[in-house]
């Protein structure tokens, strides 16, 4: 049967459901894939509800064969990112496909046409709508379960299809594994931390509960923007985007696992920790029923894994003990809450200092995600 490519009408609920549903078929019962809540993916297609569309645009394409969806992709223009970096870049995201180069070629041909019509000259991805969407295709670590939905999982053939279309490596994001029993900060770091606490104006502020956390959404977001200003993936998130991100993670956030480093009354660093609820998300199969939500809340208390997704310090505090405080809080979090395992999620290879720090405290690279680039 001939292959048909259709643009999704995002106002048509049936078409949105059809787009969302594909990976649930491709990865049905896959032991390492973690199904995202279907409503979260559908929200990415909502121009009325998702704050990304306040400043940027996206369209969505499906490949159909004999009436069945066999591939999909999102084409994205992030205007603040392009303005910040002085580029004319399109992004692709939500790429899923059967192992068939014809399907991938047809999908991306439409994405390329879409990008050229907007005056864009490069396509980069996978790269989504916000900082928790996860970057890149998995290229190493297929044997490990996806960490919640903060990073992508895919079959090994995805990178083969993408590379056959002329895409080349842009940047890798490495995830590190830490074992609580062997994670030990050097004594030198502990001495630095003690000196900082005694002599410095740097302090650590924990959050008491979710209500306390909500009060600090905007200051936290502004610190996030400042801390990652030199990173490859950086662009300034709006206040609406920051509120949206926090509201989406608040259900699986334990406020006690989120710490900030203060300099007087200013946030200069942070550590975001999340109990890993991957197993409960797998049981939910993309549907957040009342029973699934109850199971998620139980999993937060019984999981032995923590996802550390977001650790940063403002550049001007790197040499005055800020980094040492950050890693001491990481060690304290693992010990105090009895997590046996930690995943430091997706550190860009361009973040050289953090990569070096993680290796020094025993972090082992165990997953790698690759963002690809192609000129058009």
Residue-wise pLDDT tens digits, 74-87: 999 999 999 988 99
| Spatial contact of 38 and 287, defined as CB atoms under 8 Å apart | yes
Q: What is the predicted pLDDT for the residue at 113?
A: 97
Model confidence at 210: pLDDT above 90: no
* Percent of the chain topping pLDDT 90: 49
Question: In terms of pLDDT, which residue wins out, 48 or 226?
Answer: 48
pLDDT (tens digit per residue) in 146-176: 887 778 899 999 999 999 999 999 999 888 8
Residue 357 has a CB neighbour count (10 Å cut-off) of 19
The count of C-alpha atoms lying within 13 angstroms of the C-alpha of 244, restricted to the half-sphere facing its C-beta, is 20
Rounded to the nearest integer, the mean pLDDT of the chain is: 87
Q: What is the DSSP letter of 209?
A: S
Q: How many contiguous H segments (helices) and E segments (strands) does the chain have?
A: 13, 13
Rounded CA-CA distance 129/96 in Å is 17
* Percent of the chain topping pLDDT 70: 93
When pLDDT is cut at 50, 70 and 90, the band that residue 117 belongs to is very high
Rounded CA-CA distance 286/74 in Å is 20
Q: What would the two tokens of residue 317 be? A: 């505090």
Q: What would the two tokens of residue 301 be? A: 């208390």
* Concatenated DSSP letters of 241-297: HHHHHHHHHGGG--GGGEEEEEETTEEEEEEEEEE--HHHHHHHTT---HHHHHHHH
Rounded CA-CA distance 270/206 in Å is 10
Model confidence at 292: pLDDT above 90: yes
| Spatial contact of 181 and 335, defined as CB atoms under 8 Å apart | no
């Amino acid at each position: 049967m001939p292959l048909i490519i259709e643009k999704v009408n995002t106002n048509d609920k049936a078409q949105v459901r059809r787009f969302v549903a594909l990976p649930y078929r491709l990865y049905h019962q896959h032991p390492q894939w973690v199904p995202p809540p279907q409503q979260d993916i559908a929200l990415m297609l909502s121009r009325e509800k998702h704050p990304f569309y306040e400043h940027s645009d996206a369209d969505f394409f499906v490949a159909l064969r004999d009436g069945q969806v066999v591939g999909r992709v999102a084409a994205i223009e992030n205007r603040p990112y392009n303005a910040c970096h002085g580029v004319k870049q399109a992004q692709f995201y939500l790429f899923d496909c059967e192992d068939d180069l014809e399907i991938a070629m047809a999908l991306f041909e439409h994405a390329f046409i879409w990008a050229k019509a907007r005056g864009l000259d490069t396509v980069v991805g996978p790269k989504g709508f916000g900082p928790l969407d996860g970057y890149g295709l998995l290229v190493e670590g297929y044997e490990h379960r996806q960490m919640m939905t903060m990073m992508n999982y895919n079959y090994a053939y995805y990178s083969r299809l993408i590379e056959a279309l002329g895409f080349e490596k842009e940047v890798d994001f490495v995830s590190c594994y830490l074992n609580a029993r062997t994670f030990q900060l050097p004594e030198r770091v502990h001495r630095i931390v003690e000196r900082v606490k005694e002599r410095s104006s740097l302090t650590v502020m924990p959050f008491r509960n979710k209500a306390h956390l909500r009060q600090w959404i905007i200051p936290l977001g502004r610190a996030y923007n400042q801390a990652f200003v030199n990173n490859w993936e950086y662009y300034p998130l709006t206040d609406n985007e920051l509120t949206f991100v926090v509201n989406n993670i608040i259900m699986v956030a334990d406020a006690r696992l989120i710490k900030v480093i203060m300099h007087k009354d200013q946030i200069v660093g942070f550590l975001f920790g999340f109990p890993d609820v991957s197993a409960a998300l797998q049981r939910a199969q993309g549907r957040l029923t009342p029973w699934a939500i109850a199971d998620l809340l139980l999993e937060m208390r019984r999981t032995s894994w923590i996802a550390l997704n977001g650790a940063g310090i403002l550049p001007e505090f790197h040499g005055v003990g800020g980094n040492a405080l950050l890693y001491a809080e990481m060690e304290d979090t693992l010990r105090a809450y009895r997590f046996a395992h930690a995943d430091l999620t997706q550190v860009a290879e361009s973040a050289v200092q953090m990569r070096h720090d993680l290796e020094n405290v025993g972090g082992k690279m165990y997953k790698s995600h690759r963002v690809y680039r192609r000129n058009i």
